Amino acid sequence: MNKFLVKLRFWVRGILLGIARKLKEERLQGPIIRESKSLFSKEIKIPVPVSLIFTVIITYWMFVIGLGVNYKTMLATAIFTGASLVFFITQTQSKEKAILKDNDAVVLMCLLFIIAMLMFQISKEYISAFVSPVPAFALMAAMLLSLRIGILYTVILSLFTAFLNDMRLDIFLVMFCGGVVAVTNVQNILRRADFINTGIKIAVTNVAIILMFYFFNSYDISQFKYNLFYGLLNGAFAVIIILVFIPLFEKVFSRTTNIKLIELSDFNNPLLKRLMLEAPGTYHHSIMAADIAEQAANIIKDNSLLARVGAYYHDIGKLNNPRYFIENQVSGCNPHDELTPAMSKLILVSHVKDGIALAKECNLDNEIISIIEQHHGTTTMHAFYHKALQAGYDIDMENFRYPGTKPTTKIAAIIMLADSSEAACRSIEEPTAVRIKDTVEKVINNKFIDGQFSDCPLTLKDLEAIRDSIISTLVGIYHARIEYKET
Ligand SMILES: [Fe+2]
Ligand SMILES: [Fe+2]
């Protein structure tokens, strides 16, 4: 017995020390706080473990209140909640690291869960379990967090509604299928009006499942009519919930949805209009870079819409001094001829800083701001460095680097490559397919050797696919131009 107690003490001590070490490490590294206008990242920093523990406790008590306060229910609920939490964490830990480290995202994730649980209780008590808004919350999780989290929400929330309603299979299937239909439809939602189509799809799915149970003699005719009505209502209810909550969460938690990206891609946007009028060369370059980046993002199955919109805005900082950038210069008139290389370097660096400032001023999303910040990484301004050497300055190459940061996402890396490849190919005198291929390969190799992708999850396979895509898009663009010139 004594031996057992010693062993137990040893294990408990080990576990407690492990937790303490983990908490200390996290405190040293600090959670990722995004610079944004969001309420939580700026004013209140809720640690990730606190959000998770709070949500688990609230969920547990909601279950206990809904199912009855007795020993057996409390134990069953504890097992069910614990198993769901383990399932959720194991499924997100490896693939959703970025979200789990982002305070805003975790608070949003927990809030979605708590509101959903509250609505399940209200639906069950006052209306019908068939109006529990699982599809609405699963879709919001997919839009505001990630597709994987949307699918996980579908599974867990459907199980939760079934658990709250005596483990009823019909309720589980209605919620699960409605959730799957909603989440798999997320790519088709590009305008706020598209929510209505999703609501109709959810309602049709619910009707199909309820009909199936009716044919299996699970309901009598009055139950069938009742469930059918509330199954249909679930679709309409989903549209209302999404229309109310999505704009609110977009704003409060500074999340970027496809709808917001589509709104930003409108060329009537004042920033894009200014770019077109005040820096037409940069505007044209941005559109070309957007075409290239969108195709490349498509190839590696990343968010091509974010790549396109990010490329539109990546150089907005040039609006402050458009004449100092080659694409806006009239031939034979280069203001850098009058400046020292150090001064030229400062102007180039400032377009990144000015871009970030302008983007913040215009309330652009964090993801776009990160792209602006990272599109040159810590690359060297070779032209001005060599100009400085030729002028006899004894200068370190490190002084001619952009301050960064390096790309942290695949999309930011794609925009960096699309930007540089487009600029490099523009200077080829006779752009044949072979010359374009050599130029793009050189650009990508140089960035890779320079370590620009060391902070982003880009694999060599991705890089090869991106290279092939950039070459094929650029060859397509220049081939079309040559043919046009010849006709
Ligand atoms: Fe730039
Ligand atoms: Fe650029």
Instruction: List pLDDT tens digits, range 173-213.
Output: 999 999 999 999 888 888 888 899 999 999 999 999 999 99
Q: Are 391 and 437 in contact (CB under 8 A)?
A: no
Q: How far is the CA of 285 from the centre of ligand 2 (A)?
A: 7
Judge contact between 444 and 467, C-beta under 8 A. yes
Residue bearing the bigger pLDDT, 443 or 105: 443
Residues having C-beta closer than 5 Å to ion ligand 1: 315
Q: Give the pLDDT confidence score for residue 385 in this predicted structure.
A: 86
The first and second tokens of residue 350, run together, are 């400032």
Single out the residue of 281, 317, 313, 289 nearest to residue 440, CA to CA. Answer: 289
Assign 484 a pLDDT band (cuts: 50, 70, 90). Answer: low
- Predicted confidence at residue 308, as pLDDT, reads 96
Q: How many CB atoms lie within 10 A of CB 480?
A: 10
Structure tokens at 403: 């301050």
The pLDDT, as a whole number, for residue 5 is 58
All structural domains of the chain, each given as residue ranges with its CATH number in brackets, are 29-252 (no CATH), 258-486 (1.10.3210)
- Measured in Å, residue 420 CA sits from the centre of ligand 1 at 9
- The residue-averaged pLDDT of 110-130 equals 91
Instruction: Encode pLDDT of 86-113 as tens digits.
Output: 888 888 877 777 788 788 888 999 999 9
Alpha-carbon span 366 to 35, nearest angstrom: 8
DSSP 127: S
Q: How far is the CA of 267 from the centre of ligand 2 (A)?
A: 18
Quick check: 262 pLDDT over 70? yes
Query: How close is the Cα of 307 to the center of ligand 2, in Å?
Result: 13
Q: What is the mean pLDDT of residues 260-264?
A: 90
Cα distances from 40 to residues 107, 249, 257, 264, 369, in angstroms, run 8, 12, 19, 24, 18
Residue 444 structure tokens:
């990508």
Looking at all shown ligands, the one closest to residue 373's CA atom is 1
- Give CA–CA dist 486/481, Å, rounded: 9
Per-residue pLDDT at 99: 82
Per-residue pLDDT band for 31 (boundaries 50, 70, 90) equals: very low
CA atoms within 13 A on the CB side of 54: 15
- Distance from residue 313's CA to the centre of ligand 2 (Å): 9
Please state, as a whole number, how many other Cβ atoms lie within 10 Å of the Cβ of residue 24.
Answer: 10
Which residues have beta carbons under 5 A from ligand 2 (an ion)?
315, 419
Average pLDDT of the chain?
A: 86
Distance 464 CA to ligand 2 centre (A): 22
> How distant, in Å, are the alpha carbons of 168, 211, 221 from that of 225?
18, 10, 6
pLDDT in tens, 279-317: 999 999 999 999 999 999 999 988 899 999 999 999 999
Rounded Cα–Cα distance for residues 285 and 270 (Å):
18
pLDDT at 390: 83
pLDDT tens readout for residues 131-178: 999 999 999 999 999 899 999 999 999 999 998 888 899 999 999 999
Instruction: Give me the pLDDT at residue 12, please.
Output: 62
| Distance between CA atoms of residues 374 and 413, nearest Å | 8
CA of 289 to the centre of ligand 2 (A): 7
The larger pLDDT score, comparing residue 90 to residue 444, is at 444
Ligand nearest to the CA of 376: 1
**CA 362–ligand 1 middle distance (angstroms):** 18
